[in-house]
Structure 1
């Protein structure tokens, strides 16, 4: 009699898949970054104990901000300037980015030169050329553009507007091209198969589908421009950033916190208005990356239908605000091609021609590149961890009565505490992202010695506020069916998170983090300005000393590092899909 065979045991999951390979690489990179920051090295002092008293005075002043009428008038005018810079910079960057996004889209070139047709080989070549050209302006932070333009145009509002427009236009073009390429292609292909000319097929088959996400990202870019316009005040461009710098240099902490509160209110108002308009349009995510389709283009939580009258008022306000801001800043575009500007640009171009760097220079650049990379990795790791945690605390659909993490017996007595946690979490996220990263770096330098650690912490705090808000929105727009089913079956709050929410949103969370990692690398420049180390500090020193030849070499190293990070980030996002 034959012995019955036992069922084969299931194969163990491999530890060397594409996704796990990236995971091991990421963990190793974080460990290396901690070592580079000096954490775990017993002989390296990190904390400056003598500066902690100054740090205490700084936070104590938050309770008694300066409220005298004369200073409040100054802050009111500075707030208007900051808003005007953001409006003008965003408008121009979206116009530039829309055209650049079309040219950088692989779908655009494949539509004009289909594969298998004559000249079909041109499509990938032209796509790669356009994407490569965009890498240069977006790799250079707006602060560096501002410092460079400052040498040519002097203290002029045009400096701040162009400093936002140039890099943001390239960033918008890159993101717009990715949105267009990731939009479903079936309607476009159907129109092409029906004989519709390529341009019309693209305009009617692809653009209407991509428009909601393009519009949503435009609102998000406006919020980013608002933060950047505050950062540009550090170089003397005016606005709230300039008032913050003056108060910080003179150690007037009460005035400093008044500027902070004005910046927080401005960011909060723009954030609220942006969210309301997007929700009425049915676009609930600022940035739809690796998120469920139900959460990216429509409100799955039963939001009310759009109120056309309020939307019309918003569009009218935008139509009025844009020309008013351009008029208020009195931008003199003729200065761009004036003889004086052309002469200065020619001198800079002549002196910026570099010689081949020596071995010592190359070694220094490699060392600083490593520190810059370590700073960005450590910053985004901390920001992502905090953002994921606060994405549950700051989401309306989690702890409030009827939320996914609120059981039926908690609905009555937990309501006040849940609202306190929600408002406190959102307030902390708003405070973190509203205050510019270089200001956070100066604050951390009170209690830490100069190096990449205070820079990494400053970038982490600033990006924590951004990532936490993006991730909280993803949680709010998540289809609730799986999580509610688990809750009905008696699952605890932690089990609902682990098995009902994270499996759906974790790819999107990681995609957000990878996207912000690319931004973090660029932002190492602005914390380098205040002594946080890395390539950013070298770049600012070379700009200050008019060493344009050395600046070109350092920018080349920074550009190569940016391209490498972009490539790694792209490959990791592809693995998540």
Structure 2
């Protein structure tokens, strides 16, 4: 009894500490009427009017569908390369190709380091760098998606390979199988379903990421949203946002069925449907790459031309300041300003996860299926299913719109600063947190909750004495995980005037201050790695 009590005690104080840090972050905002633009209230009215009356004219819908296809083939092509990269580097990072302990350790350290760096930098930052190096090309968007998503997938693939049972592997080793035979006949058959399942989940995320490639001029739905916002045509903005939500939902449903079939126990059914899904996937990949190589004037081989090679060489030479006398990363004044911006970026991320947590906490219970169908409590109310459907739709709407697009809209209401960036990040992550929390409650053991309900406990007592203690560890884990993701994204919302490192990064790119870009990237990487370390340490403390 002592250990569970101590664990609950520790989690309670950890929760209080997180809320205290959130409260301190709010002090960085000057809470007065100056937060909102003079026309902010009018902008809200116009945005809401566009929300309820989108422009569904044939010309706008046709343009939106073409842009949706561009967004889709960016995501498909990027994920194709990401999976190839993740498969190769993930296997090397797992260390399973060598039996020598020292070689395995060195392989893990080096290749996990490669995966760590590539996944730490946001895909939009990669897009900026590729556009600066090779110009406006679809391949800039594709590589910008492939590198960070490959890093994320590779890390997960490596962990999957390291976590499988060792008995089948030892049996193959004792029979004299080579390392490659052990890989293809031992490791991969045990993890391939989980690999495909997680890759499909990341494909959903890649759709949203592909939409924001527009910010560096690479087309897609995000580009149309950005143009419509610039012209204050909010009815068109919402038309393109709705098309993006439909695209994300389509991928979400499709990947759900694929993941379901991978877990299907009936082998023949799984085999039959597996061939259908595989065929559809290959057709989609062929169509995506066909649109890039045939429908675009850019040729893949042109990326490896002498002109592009010279451009890339010049770009990286500028990044390290070979031709520059006063290098920003060697200036104490530049470091001082960058560290202040880094701290502001940290404050923005804490505010964002705090807002998202509060919003999810207030809405999660009505979104739980077990509460809607009265499995957790005996009272059946007709309105519970209506609330369930509305809040679940709110979660879908919230998480389907990328953070940058939320920021583009919010900046028309609030003046530039940390607050609009935090709100934009919170709006996107609120839907993700709410969905994850609702599923955590749906998966918990119902018997203790029913016992509390049967003795006459109120709804508040059921939640605070039954549900909350059981799901608190998972809630904390999801909060910390989303905070890591938010930390990567804070620099992106800064591009549209939300403050922090992102705003300065955009200015440095605009004025070709390459050594300043290098300095800001160093600060950004340090911040992301710090978030990973703090999050991992806190998750361990919460267990």
Q: 1:133 offset after TM fit, Å?
A: 2.0
Higher mean C-alpha deviation, range 120-129 or range 322-331? 120-129
Higher mean C-alpha deviation, range 30-39 or range 90-99? 30-39
Question: Which residue, out of 552, 555, 559, partners 2:525?
Answer: 559
Corresponding residue for 1:372? Answer: 345
Corresponding residue for 1:112? Answer: 98
Higher mean C-alpha deviation, range 11-20 or range 232-241? 11-20
CA distance in structure 1 between the aligned counterparts of 2:261 and 2:442, rounded to whole angstroms: 15
Cα contact 1:142–1:228 (8 A) shared by 2: yes
Q: 1:536 offset after TM fit, Å?
A: 1.2
Cα contact 2:491–2:503 (8 A) shared by 1: yes
Can you give the 5+ residue segments of structure 1 that lack an aligned partner in the other structure? 1-8, 114-118, 284-297
TM, length-normalised to structure 2: 0.89
Q: 1:504 offset after TM fit, Å?
A: 4.1
Q: 1:534 offset after TM fit, Å?
A: 0.7
Deviations 1:532-574 (A, max 9, x none): 1111111111112221111111111111111111111122223
Cα contact 1:394–1:425 (8 A) shared by 2: yes
CA distance in structure 2 between the aligned counterparts of 1:494 and 1:314, rounded to whole angstroms: 45
Corresponding residue for 1:353? Answer: 320
CA distance in structure 2 between the aligned counterparts of 1:192 and 1:487, rounded to whole angstroms: 55
Deviations 1:141-180 (A, max 9, x none): 1112112222233332212111111111112112333344
Q: 1:187 offset after TM fit, Å?
A: 4.9
CA distance in structure 2 between the aligned counterparts of 1:12 and 1:77, rounded to whole angstroms: 56
Question: Which residue, out of 336, 347, 356, partners 2:303?
Answer: 336
Cα contact 1:404–1:487 (8 A) shared by 2: no
Corresponding residue for 1:326? Answer: 289
Cα pair distance change 1:188/1:515, threshold 3 Å: farther
* Correspondence 1:392 to 2:371: no
Corresponding residue for 1:221? Answer: 202
CA distance in structure 2 between the aligned counterparts of 1:496 and 1:208, rounded to whole angstroms: 44
1:397-476 to structure 2, matched below 5 A, reads 397-400=370-373, 403-407=374-378, 409-410=379-380, 414-415=381-382, 417-476=383-442
CA distance in structure 2 between the aligned counterparts of 1:260 and 1:342, rounded to whole angstroms: 38
Query: SS at 2:369's partner residue?
Result: coil
Cα contact 2:134–2:312 (8 A) shared by 1: no
Corresponding residue for 1:540? Answer: 506
Cα pair distance change 1:545/1:381, threshold 3 Å: same
CA distance in structure 2 between the aligned counterparts of 1:367 and 1:233, rounded to whole angstroms: 29
For the aligned residues, what is the CA RMSD? 3.1
CA distance in structure 1 between the aligned counterparts of 2:122 and 2:221, rounded to whole angstroms: 19
CA distance in structure 2 between the aligned counterparts of 1:474 and 1:273, rounded to whole angstroms: 23
Cα contact 2:319–2:515 (8 A) shared by 1: yes
CA distance in structure 1 between the aligned counterparts of 2:190 and 2:453, rounded to whole angstroms: 35
Can you give the 5+ residue segments of structure 2 that lack an aligned partner in the other structure? 322-326
1:171-182 to structure 2, matched below 5 A, reads 171-182=152-163
CA distance in structure 2 between the aligned counterparts of 1:481 and 1:15, rounded to whole angstroms: 22
Cα contact 1:112–1:199 (8 A) shared by 2: no
CA distance in structure 1 between the aligned counterparts of 2:12 and 2:338, rounded to whole angstroms: 31
Deviations 1:223-252 (A, max 9, x none): 110000111122221111111011000001
Corresponding residue for 1:4? Answer: none
Cα contact 1:223–1:267 (8 A) shared by 2: yes
Corresponding residue for 1:381? Answer: 354
Cα pair distance change 1:468/1:538, threshold 3 Å: same
CA distance in structure 1 between the aligned counterparts of 2:40 and 2:146, rounded to whole angstroms: 38
Query: SS at 1:447's partner residue?
Result: coil
Q: 1:279 offset after TM fit, Å?
A: 2.7
Deviations 1:319-357 (A, max 9, x none): 211111110222632122112211111111111114342
Q: 1:519 offset after TM fit, Å?
A: 1.5
Q: How many residues align?
A: 533
Cα pair distance change 1:515/1:420, threshold 3 Å: same
1:499-514 to structure 2, matched below 5 A, reads 499-514=465-480
